Homo-oligomer: A and B are copies of this chain.
């Protein structure tokens, strides 16, 4: 299986604790790295996770709260010190460019590369990135200011050629692409070899959904239905449900119920409030509603 792997750089919330960094993750799709949110210290955690800066070309920011984007200044400056030349693309809600640029201009007298800002609307799901292997679609969320999650979806891949069979039938090389796409093969004698004899199906495309920060939303259930991995914030335990509501956050049980309703394969919870000494309570509450739940943790990587 080709790489589709999530790295947790930080999974705390706004108030710092001695255990957590603020939010940041990296999704590794076949060695292209996609950063999701960039809280303070993200670049330090990135290095600690032995990820390569040169593989990082796109950063997705869910919303403009400090604990999701204060790491950008340091990261962008470091890439400049390293003499990066490739463009760096930052996808976020409106206003980020105007906020960051005066500081970037001052602190990086000469930029060796270009930072390209791609603001997105947060009301409706929108395709904001696409390459040969994946698409990224926004997931509108409901927080105290415009916020979106992100759905990373692999594109369906071509079938795998069964080399022994194509050799046996002496399929010419120029036919292979058609066969990968599902075509049958017709021998010079006119015999039809069905595609199913020549290939095995590609691995099913995988999907990862990231939802933070937000109230639990029915529209999210629809959009993340059946994903292989759902990251959903679970800032609070159930007893703090009034506080969750008031601050537009989700509890552990709410996140788990949403995962269950959406029929996702696995749930990863994070964005933990500083008030909990450890997160076992959150895990306990979540697994009661949805057993396939994991706790996020700095340094964790999850193969999808």
Check A44 against B15 for contact (C-beta < 8 Å).
no
Check B43 against A78 for contact (C-beta < 8 Å).
no
Nearest B residue to A46 by beta-carbon distance?
B16
Check A106 against B102 for contact (C-beta < 8 Å).
no
Check A78 against B14 for contact (C-beta < 8 Å).
yes
The docked-state distance in angstroms from the alpha carbon of A22 to that of B22 is 17
Pick out which of these stretches binds chain B: A67-75, A126-134, A186-194, A252-260. A67-75
Count A-side interface residues using an 8 Å CB cutoff. Answer: 33
11 contacts between A and B (CB under 8 A): A14-B77, A16-B46, A18-B47, A18-B50, A40-B43, A40-B74, A65-B107, A66-B74, A67-B74, A70-B107, A102-B102
Any B CB within 8 A of the CB of A41: yes
Copies of this chain, whole number: 2
Any B CB within 8 A of the CB of A272: no
Q: Which residues of A contact B (CB under 8 A)?
A: 14-18, 21-22, 40-41, 43-44, 46-48, 50, 64-67, 70-71, 73-74, 77-78, 81-82, 95, 99, 102-103, 106-107
Q: A15-B82, A18-B47, A18-B48 are in contact. List 11 more A-B contacts (CB 8 A).
A: A14-B78, A15-B78, A16-B46, A16-B74, A40-B43, A40-B71, A66-B107, A70-B73, A99-B102, A99-B103, A99-B106
The docked-state distance in angstroms from the alpha carbon of A22 to that of B75 is 12
Q: Which of A22, A44, A65, A73 has the most CB of B within 10 A?
A: A44
The docked-state distance in angstroms from the alpha carbon of A203 to that of B90 is 57
Residues of B near A41 (CB, < 8 A) are 40-41, 44
Residues of B near A48 (CB, < 8 A) are 18
Given A16-B43, A103-B103, do A73 and B78 touch, yes or no (CB 8 Å)? no
Check A70 against B74 for contact (C-beta < 8 Å).
yes
Nearest B residue to A49 by beta-carbon distance?
B18
Pick from B17, B73, B99: contact of A66, CB below 8 A: B73
